[in-house]
Amino acid sequence: MTGTTAPQTAVERLEAFTGTDLEDLCDATEDAIEAGGGFGWLAAPPRHIMEAYWRGVMLVPERQVFVARLDHTICGSAQLARPPRNNEAQSFAAQLTSNFIAPWARGHGLAKRIVVAVEEAARAAGFAILNLDVRATQEAAIQLYESLGYRRWGTHPEYARVAGVVLPGHFYYKRLADEDAATR
């Protein structure tokens, strides 16, 4: 009897690129873009542009990058974006953004795990609210967010333009802590 080994999965905060991390992240991003879920990109930019994007994100103090790994290879990402320091009125709320899992890595529970990891980091940083937005056509993402307790508070009827077609988008939030418990 021959056995198959279950793939190894992990979700972690990416502190620095090591080994093939940057290449893997760019490959996963390109795959997600081609599948229609590239967090805003409609076509993959040249590789040097994508590499510069990811290197730049890693330098932004208000951003934390989380990655999903399948058999040690980065296959997805999400970002926790803190409000700018001058935005004291919204200092209690952070943003979950740029979330994707490459098509070849779906079906292993990584999409849920990466959202939960961002939530935990936001909660640990003292944020009471986590906001996000998503194209109305991203049905799997919408189902995931709603299953995790995100509440849709609005729809923008002209949120994005894809292939010349204007699409609506939805806005969500999740309360992570009571407002009084928030430390921000």
SS (H, E, C) 25-42: HHHHHHHHHHCCCECCEC
Q: What is d(CA 9, CA 66) in angstroms, rounded to the nearest whole number?
A: 13
Whether pLDDT at 182 is above 60: no
Query: Mean pLDDT of all residues in the chain?
Result: 93
In b/e form, how buried is each residue of 20-29, taking b as 16+ CB within 10 angstroms? ebbebbbbbb
Looking at the chain, the number of H-run helices and the number of E-run strands are 4, 7
CATH class of the 9-181 domain in this structure: alpha beta
Q: Where are the domains of the chain?
A: 9-181
pTM given for the model = 0.92
pLDDT value at residue 178: 72
Type and span of the H or E element at 68? strand 63-70
Please write the tens of the pLDDT for every residue from 43-102. 999 999 999 999 999 999 999 999 999 999 999 999 999 998 888 899 999 999 999 999
Q: Report in angstroms the alpha-carbon separations of 70 from 18, 65, 104, 144.
A: 16, 17, 10, 19
pLDDT value at residue 181: 56
Per-residue pLDDT averaged across 139-157, rounded?
Answer: 97
